[in-house]
Structure 1
């Protein structure tokens, strides 16, 4: 089968490799992959990796580079192990990519995403979504309802990130929200905030192309560019009492954006750090204390969110498919996938790989 494998920084190759076994282990499932999204994490691995991809065998999964990429994907079940009961051959599924022990401290509490042994399919597992087939555990697959298309099934994973972040921020009906960063996660975060009931949503980014895309996705979003706008002041001017937003969600992973969130949130508001920082940002501790605000991390999602997020997407309440700007073939993944997303023009958001 064909698979896109990471070998080193800026070295992703589409190669022919053996297809996974059609006789899965008792608790494993063989999936014929359908669509796979290119995530910002994949992009960071391509441009500056290895970061999460191990160069020595992962202590829990044994995986290491070269690594099949892709953790935002879905497909159709083509074979199941003898002990699998949650899916059957022919089911359309979305993949929840976290792999971790079921019996360690966090696993026993259902907090699998917090396990110190955590691995992620497409980053530290022998298989991934950027291939024709993948072999995964039974707990990694969720059957999707008829209301969810094959393309939408590949969008459940990134959407779950933003639904969880909105929950971490306590976004509720009538709230005002700031999202910093108009990349794919930022755009989905805007939609997740609206689905949670936020009525006034601000989006800040330095790329006017992406801000224009955001206005097409959600026409009443208020877009701001910190290169030309004084973002905290503009937000205070447009919020009740001039106090700032109730919740700010930082989806860039940049020190300046985090600072903007702390400035723009109201007293006793909540700042949620969604984007991953590559360094250690300075945080204005005085303002955090003086304004009596909460600063919270948001790591991925809980692994049990898939049915709920699928329902949000399938019902149209959270139209995640609006962030897709291009579909490509696997053979195009470098030139028309990674390189297109790295373009400073910012004319692409979410690119899906069509594996059929």
Structure 2
């Protein structure tokens, strides 16, 4: 079957690889429909290997070359012994966290995203979404309703990231929310905050093209360019009594953006660090203490949030498909997908690979 595999930095290859074996006990074989190119995939391509193991993964045994893709969905072809949650013909979204089977503190308590032994489909597993078929565990698939499209199934994973971030920030009805970074995660965060009831939305980004896209996707959002505006001042000017926002979601992984969040948030507000920093960052801790504010991390998502995220998308509460700006074939994935998303012009948000073409 055809697959896109990571071999080394800037070395992605379209290859013909063996089809996955028949599913064993507790496993599911699926035909992939759509897969999204994630920021993590881009980091692997531009600077990797980062998460892709160069020696056998301690839990999954996987190592490069690796089929990429952890934002995907498809149709079940076959199931192994003991699988009852899905059947052949069911359409599913893939939850990519590969969980240790007992004896690990966080995994045993349902917080698989916090497990130190965690593996991920498309990064440290035998299969990935950027191929015609994938073999996964039964707990990795969640059946989607008829009201959800195959494209939307590929958007459940990135949406789950921001649903968890909004949970961590305690976004609720009437909240005012700043998001730093108008990439696909940032704009999904805006859509999710609105679904949670936020009434005043702000987004900051240095790229005017991205800010224009944000205004198109999220009508009514206030856009701020830190190159020409002071983020904190702009947010305070747009919030009740000029006190600042209730919640700030840092979605770009930038030290300056994190400081902007701290400046913009009100006293006793919450900052959620969602973007991955490339190195050690710093903030004004006097300001953090003086404001009596909180900074929280947000890593992946708890797996029990998956059905909830599917419902939020399928119901239309989170119109996740609005972030999709291009659909391409697997053959064009490198030039029209990875390279396009690395273009500093930032004209694309979420690019989906259509595996049926």
TM range (shorter): over 0.9
Q: Is the 8 A contact 1:72 1:158 kept in 2?
A: yes
Q: Residues of 2 paired with 1:101 and 1:218: CA distance? A: 39
* Aligned residue in 2 for 1:271: 271
Q: CA deviation at 1:215?
A: 0.6
Q: Residues of 1 paired with 2:137 and 2:83: CA distance? A: 9
Select between 101-110 and 273-282 the one with higher mean Cα deviation: 101-110
* Aligned residue in 1 for 2:154: 154
Q: Residues of 2 paired with 1:6 and 1:66: CA distance? A: 5
Q: Residues of 1 paired with 2:193 and 2:185: CA distance? A: 12
* Aligned residue in 1 for 2:139: 139
State yes or no: 1:190 paired with 2:190: yes
* Aligned residue in 2 for 1:75: 74
Corresponding residue SS for 2:105: coil
Superposed counterparts of 1:1-356, under 5 Å: 1-21=1-21, 23-103=22-102, 104-356=104-356
- Root-mean-square deviation (CA, aligned residues, Å) is 0.6
Q: Residues of 2 paired with 1:199 and 1:206: CA distance? A: 24
Q: Which runs of 5+ in 2 are unaligned?
A: none
Q: Residues of 2 paired with 1:87 and 1:238: CA distance? A: 48
Q: Residues of 2 paired with 1:175 and 1:102: CA distance? A: 39
Instruction: Render the CA deviation track for 1:227-262: whole Å, top value 9, x for unaligned.
Output: 111110111111111110000000000000000001
Q: Residues of 1 paired with 2:225 and 2:296: CA distance? A: 24
Q: Residues of 2 paired with 1:173 and 1:269: CA distance? A: 15
Q: CA deviation at 1:79?
A: 0.6
Q: CA deviation at 1:102?
A: 3.3
Q: Residues of 2 paired with 1:64 and 1:262: CA distance? A: 39
Corresponding residue SS for 2:14: strand
TM, length-normalised to structure 1:
0.99
Instruction: Render the CA deviation track for 1:188-230: whole Å, top value 9, x for unaligned.
Output: 0000100110000000000010110111111100000001111
Q: Residues of 1 paired with 2:49 and 2:320: CA distance? A: 29
Q: Is the 8 A contact 1:102 1:112 kept in 2?
A: no
TM, length-normalised to structure 2:
0.99
Q: Residues of 1 paired with 2:204 and 2:337: CA distance? A: 25
Q: Residues of 2 paired with 1:107 and 1:349: CA distance? A: 33
Q: CA deviation at 1:285?
A: 1.1
Q: Is the 8 A contact 1:68 1:122 kept in 2?
A: yes
